[in-house]
Structure 1
């Protein structure tokens, strides 16, 4: 609920050119192109569908093979919801980019949303089998690297990236809930069918 309220606040500020845009623009001006484009472009590419989606697909296949069909399906649904949620907001807000004021559709960041759902979703699916924190740490680093790359390259404003993270958090909470529910045992399946 908090994520939804914060997302609504940020969206409202973008729509009405509210006071949050001044620090957003100042931060962007201070950060854009402070790191070579060759580095920030590679970081941004982590949010591309051909890069991020296979990671989630492999984790979904692994979880499904281990009997966690609900969790795998929920992760797939979360990823399918990313464009369904992001694209309408891009069209509605028509926010220009930091380096392309003539273009529109930068809010929220689709690359950030894709990276967050793919990498964190994958970590949530495989973590029960590793019993270690490294999948979550790797997912957060990859998602953060994507976000930082997008901001430093000038492809997104910081609020675009923040909005994507706020938008995706409920999706990831749903995946986490499905993972915690665990696999359906064969014994309970037999009882319910008999």
Structure 2
């Protein structure tokens, strides 16, 4: 029976609530970084390594002895070549691009403000690698190991490509991982992968150890800046 007020006398159906999509979490290890001291330390270390590469001092001679030791190691040549190839632009950059697309899709589904900004920042960080590495190679002009023609081997472009591409991919993924163990293991896997690429480059005689070490410092500087930006972006996306 319909009442005089027009109501049917039945309770209205409950409002349908859309399931809340997961949002990224801030990463404690990123928020605890001290950016200025870390930046100054890495910049000073890179300057020291570059100076030692440019002068014929004891560090450079020790570097060349270490390279001969690594080249004579028992790591199979095929395995070393495979590891070195993981630092190719055609391998590392597509991995970062795929992760950036995935994170952008997740962020857009979660209706985050400026969902496109973290993936774009990671890709711009990757684009900064050749802008820094190529002029440094030309300025230092270090000759390669025996059997490698020409100069321009410091810092290692393959090492920087691997470190920044894989490192930026991990930094993009970390805020979306709820499992602390998975976060830690993914970070460790990235470090092991970059170290493996570096070992392969030295074992195959493509680079001196200091070429690789210089790229570590340069890559860490870029990733530190990206990490701070992504941390701020992740914190801003948290619900109030």
TM-score by length of 1: 0.89
Contact 2:159 2:198 in 1 (8 A): yes
Shift of 1:101: 5.7
CA offsets 1:122-179 (integer angstroms, 9 cap, x no match)? 0010111123223212211211110110011111111000000101111101111122
Contact 1:74 1:174 in 2 (8 A): no
Q: Tell me whether 157-166 or 133-142 shows the greater mean CA deviation.
A: 133-142
Shift of 1:186: 11
Is 1:159–2:210 an aligned residue pair?
A: yes
Is 1:139–2:158 an aligned residue pair?
A: no
Determine the C-alpha separation between the residues in 1 that align with 2:202 and 2:101: 32
**C-alpha distance 100-91 of structure 1, shift in aligned 2 (>3 A):** farther
Any stretches of 5+ residues in structure 2 without a counterpart?
A: 1-39
Match of 2:135 among 82, 88, 99: 88
State the Cα RMSD in Å.
Answer: 1.9
Q: 1:99 aligns to what?
A: 146
Determine the C-alpha separation between the residues in 1 that align with 2:45 and 2:147: 26
Once the two structures are superposed, the pairs formed by residues 70-89 of structure 1 within 5 Å of their partners are: 70-89=117-136
Once the two structures are superposed, the pairs formed by residues 40-55 of structure 1 within 5 Å of their partners are: 40-55=80-95
Any stretches of 5+ residues in structure 1 without a counterpart?
A: 189-194
Q: 1:3 aligns to what?
A: 42
Determine the C-alpha separation between the residues in 1 that align with 2:93 and 2:151: 25
Determine the C-alpha separation between the residues in 2 that align with 1:186 and 1:158: 42
Aligned residue pair count: 188
Determine the C-alpha separation between the residues in 1 that align with 2:192 and 2:148: 30
Contact 1:108 1:163 in 2 (8 A): yes
CA offsets 1:7-27 (integer angstroms, 9 cap, x no match)? 111111111223210110111
Q: Which has the higher helix share?
A: 1
Once the two structures are superposed, the pairs formed by residues 169-184 of structure 1 within 5 Å of their partners are: 169-183=220-234
Is 1:23–2:62 an aligned residue pair?
A: yes
Contact 2:148 2:206 in 1 (8 A): no
Instruction: Report the 3-state secondary structure (helix = DSSP H, G, I; strand = E; otherwise coil) of the residue aligned with 1:103.
Output: coil
Contact 2:126 2:164 in 1 (8 A): yes
Instruction: Report the 3-state secondary structure (helix = DSSP H, G, I; strand = E; otherwise coil) of the residue aligned with 1:182.
Output: helix
